[in-house]
Amino acid sequence: MVAPTRLLALSVFTSLVSATPLSKSSPKSNSKFSRDLLVHEARDVLPLGFSLAGPAAPHTTLNLRVALTQSNPDAIVDALYQVSDPSSDKYGQHLSKSEVQQLVAPSEDSVNAVNAWLQKHGLSATPLSPSGDWLEVELNVSKANELLAADFSKFTHLDTGTEAIRTLSYSIPAGLKGHIDLIHPTTSFPENVQSLGTLQKRTIHTPILSRKSSSKCANGTTPACLQQVYNIPTTPAKHASNKLAVTGRFGNNAHYKWLQEFLQQYRPDMNSSTNFTVTLLDGGNNDQDAPSVSEGELDIQYTVGLATNVPIDYVMVGVKWKDDGLNGFLDEVNYILSLDQPPQTLSTSYGYPESSMSFALTDKLCKAYAQLGARGVSVIFAAGDSGAGCAGGNSTAFSPFFPSNCPYVTSVGGTTGSSPEIAWEGSSGGFSNYYSAPSYQSSAVSGYLAKLGLSPAAASTKGRFNATGRGFPDISAKADDFRVWEGSIASIWGTSASAPTFASIVALINDRLAQAGKAPMGFLNPWLYSKGKSGFTDITSGNNSVECNGKTGGFEAVEGWDPVTGLGTPDFNKLLALVGL
Ligand SMILES: *[C@@H]1O[C@H](CO)[C@@H](O)[C@H](O)[C@H]1NC(C)=O
Ligand SMILES: *[C@@H]1O[C@H](CO)[C@@H](O)[C@H](O)[C@H]1NC(C)=O
Ligand SMILES: *[C@@H]1O[C@H](CO)[C@@H](O)[C@H](O)[C@H]1NC(C)=O
Ligand SMILES: *[C@@H]1O[C@H](CO)[C@@H](O)[C@H](O)[C@H]1NC(C)=O
Ligand SMILES: *[C@@H]1O[C@H](CO)[C@@H](O)[C@H](O)[C@H]1NC(C)=O
Ligand SMILES: *[C@@H]1O[C@H](CO)[C@@H](O)[C@H](O)[C@H]1NC(C)=O
Ligand SMILES: *[C@@H]1O[C@H](CO)[C@@H](O)[C@H](O)[C@H]1NC(C)=O
């Protein structure tokens, strides 16, 4: 049900091919190798919104990433479930870095075959991931075209002006089939990564009149409000080795001074000098004079300000042209996998539509999150802010959001209001077209589908989603009117706020587990859908309706799991009791 990506004008593509034939740059060697080259990945049409800008200059350097086939691609998923399913006798026995590496490493044959092929062409590769399942090869466009019988060209994303060098097809030697999963960036186009916290951003200029209410949420969502509605303790964490990493991107700098002033105002009980560390990847920067873009301030203020005294690391991934072509997600996960002691919790408030990357590429990233989970990391993603989403073009199909719908991460949807909270209309949610419903959620999903069948909303969703897919989000938390300090008060809406809120709760529970000498929660989902379910308050009204090409519809929050608010919103005290503390 992925909406077919449509070419803006088919003739553009045709003229591109004839203007820069494959063999032009090096006809001799190309014909020599094309005999045993087999097309590995190809696309017929450009993704929506892209147009051809012209041939790529032959000398332009490309950093191609080669994903080697893992000896046993299912092994990591099996290992993940063994340590994350509360009914397994290995529950909580997380794997070490070297144990995970052994599970995901490509075979020696694959490594040798690929290296020999590159050497024959005067090229060499550098490993990018700790297990060596990703290699990087630096070469120029003319060499890449020859090596891969490709046609690297410049493409422009019309809305943003972003330029990318891609090819619509590439080939590898027949003998390397079974050794190479994919080469990137080639046929998957970059999607503008969305930060999920700027929706409905407003700066509050006028002081808010005191509302007569005993609720701590009377003046918007603040740490005190969240502590009240989710029973989050103010007690400081004790374990310095229990860490929470927060993903940062693209100049969404978090400012020390704003955090300090935020804590003074909203956490007067805390030491306002409580700080965070910064890790820079891919040319990311920590410019404290950069303007506030809210996302970074939100993510830091609502982790430092909620996960009291848990060490917070802000992982800033830059946007150099050398970027991983996967919006920084690949480099970030490979960095965390390279750590001997990874943070126990990772919160990310960025994502992109699932359909924008191929399944092969998507799956490499999703299985890298499975590696983190097997090592005991709770990988938490904001669900997305697009409601049910629109597939684009003339389609009326919904559009699921990635990485939040990867089966090996925990997806956090959004709610609004209080007593009771209802679904926030922007909360992304629905069903993956790439992944079927994993067994941990199959009864939750079938329960929902049975209810949907009886409801009036069914008509508005009919034929617009893949009912066999992995349903997301898994749980939800408030997404409304978060008060963020950036020199003045901003009001931020979005699942960007929900993810750090839930991640802070997980980090605080992990601190208690560490104090009790127990393993961290790790990959949460098998536990959430079984033992942990009663630690959540079911959200039973609201919807994430969208209008796609004139057709309105979406999913509704109902009793039990639903693809808008998941299992509901967390209650710290109940969750703590459910982990046995
Ligand atoms: C591309 O790189 C190859 C070496 O891999 C070199 O021989 C060739 O001159 C380069 N071509 C251009 C146009 O820079
Ligand atoms: C809301 O703001 C008003 C005015 O600043 C203040 O008097 C009141 O105590 C605040 N209420 C809460 C719950 O923070
Ligand atoms: C607050 O934290 C800072 C930095 O860690 C420390 O130097 C200071 O002593 C602390 N203040 C109090 C009152 O604990
Ligand atoms: C937080 O850490 C940074 C970097 O070390 C430092 O410049 C800043 O002054 C610290 N903030 C506070 C409030 O101590
Ligand atoms: C959408 O439909 C219209 C009318 O059928 C057609 O002319 C147009 O090419 C379609 N657009 C896309 C992107 O497929
Ligand atoms: C629906 O999802 C399944 C996985 O659950 C997938 O195999 C299938 O291709 C999807 N169908 C469409 C039309 O995307
Ligand atoms: C969906 O929610 C919106 C906003 O909360 C509401 O106006 C609308 O009536 C709801 N739609 C349905 C079909 O319930």
Q: Measured between alpha carbons, how far is residue 371 from residues 74, 94, 182, 413, 504 in Å?
A: 11, 10, 19, 23, 22
Q: How far is residue 547's CA from residue 399's CA, in Å, rounded to a whole number?
A: 12
- Whose Cα sits closest to atom 13 in ligand 1? 59
Q: State yes or no: pLDDT of 20 exceeds 60.
A: no
Average pLDDT of the segment spanning 541-545:
97
Indicate the DSSP class of residue 216: T
Q: How far apart are CA 541 and CA 417, in angstroms?
A: 11
Q: Is the CB of 273 inside a 6 Å radius of any atom of ligand 4?
A: yes
**Above 90 in pLDDT, residue 509?**
yes
Relative to the alpha carbon of 550, which ligand is closest? 5
Question: Which residue has its alpha carbon closest to ligand 2 atom 7?
Answer: 210
Instruction: Find the 319 Cα to ligand 1 centroid distance in Å.
Output: 26
Q: For the chain, how are helix, strand and coil distributed in percent, rounded to 5?
A: 30, 25, 45
Classified as helix, coil or strand, 155 is: strand
* Whole-number pLDDT of residue 547: 95
The confidence band for 12, taking pLDDT boundaries of 50, 70 and 90, is very low
Residue 254, SS3 per DSSP: coil
Mean pLDDT across 43-72: 91
pLDDT at 544 over 50: yes
Measured in Å, residue 170 CA sits from the centre of ligand 1 at: 19
Q: For residues 168 and 14, give the distance between their C-alpha atoms in angstroms, rounded to a whole number.
A: 12
Q: Which residue has the higher pLDDT, 11 or 379?
A: 379
Q: Mean of the pLDDT values across residues 58-83?
A: 95
Please classify residue 456 by burial: count the beta carbons closer than 10 Å to its beta carbon, then call 0-12 exposed, 13-18 middle and 19+ buried. exposed
Among all bound ligands, the one having the nearest atom to the CA of 122 is: 1
Atom of ligand 2 nearest to the CA of 219: 1
Q: Which atom of ligand 7 is nearest to the CA of 457?
A: 13
Atom of ligand 1 nearest to the CA of 58: 13
Q: What is the mean pLDDT of the chain?
A: 89
Q: Does residue 295 carry a catalytic annotation?
A: yes
Annotated binding site for Ca(2+): 538-539, 560, 562
Percent of the chain with pLDDT over 70: 89
CB-CB neighbours of 138 under 10 Å: 14
Q: What would the pLDDT profile of 559-580 be if each residue is shown by its tens digit?
A: 999 999 999 999 999 999 999 9
pLDDT at 16: 25
pTM over 0.85: yes
Residue 381, pLDDT > 80, answer: yes
Indicate which residue of 347, 496, 498, 504 is catalytic. 496
- Report the C-alpha gap between 231 and 233 in whole angstroms: 6
CATH entry 3.40.50.200 includes domain 194-203+239-578 = yes
Q: Tell me, in angstroms, the distance from the centre of ligand 4 to residue 275's CA.
A: 6
pLDDT at 109 over 60: yes
Domain ranges across the chain? 19-70+105-188, 194-203+239-578
**Choice among 282, 299, 323, 332 that is catalytic:** 299
Q: Considering only CA atoms, which residue is closest to atom 7 of ligand 5?
A: 394
In this predicted structure, which of 17-31, 193-207, 349-363, 426-440 has the lowest mean pLDDT? 17-31
430-443 average pLDDT score: 98
Distance 118 CA to ligand 4 centre (A): 47
User: What residue owns the CA closest to ligand 6's atom 11?
Assistant: 1
Structure confidence at residue 200 (pLDDT): 47
Quick one: pLDDT at residue 206?
Answer: 41
DSSP one-letter string for 347-389 = EE-EEEEGGGS-HHHHHHHHHHHHHHHHTT-EEEEE--SSTT-
Please check whether residue 507 is in contact with residue 307, taking contact to mean a CB–CB distance below 8 angstroms.
Answer: yes
Residue 527 predicted with pLDDT over 80: yes
- Asked if pLDDT for residue 157 goes beyond 60, the answer is yes
What pLDDT shows up at residue 453? 85
pLDDT band at 236 (very low <50, low <70, confident <90, very high): very high
* Cα separation, 428 vs 387, whole angstroms: 4
Nearest-atom number in ligand 6 for the CA of 437 is: 5
pLDDT at 201: 52
Given this model, what pLDDT does residue 146 score? 96
Q: Which residues line ligand 1 (CB under 6 A)?
A: 58-59, 122, 139-140, 142-143
H or E stretch including 242?
none
**By C-alpha distance, which of 392, 405, 400 is closest to 365?**
405
Section 179-205 average pLDDT = 71
Supply the pLDDT for residue 73.
87
Ligand 4: which residue has its CA nearest to atom 6?
Answer: 256
The pLDDT value recorded for residue 277 is 98
Question: What are the tens digits of pLDDT across the range 282-334?
Answer: 889 999 999 988 899 999 999 999 999 999 999 999 876 445 667 789 999 99
Q: Is 23 a catalytic residue?
A: no
d(CA 406, CA 404): 6
User: Does residue 197 surpass a pLDDT of 70?
Assistant: no
pLDDT band at 357 (very low <50, low <70, confident <90, very high): confident
Active site residue 29: no
What percentage of the chain reaches a pLDDT higher than 90?
Answer: 78
Distance (Å) from CA 553 to ligand 7 centroid: 9
Mean pLDDT within 490-505: 96
Kindly report the protein residue whose alpha carbon is nearest to atom 4 of ligand 4: 277
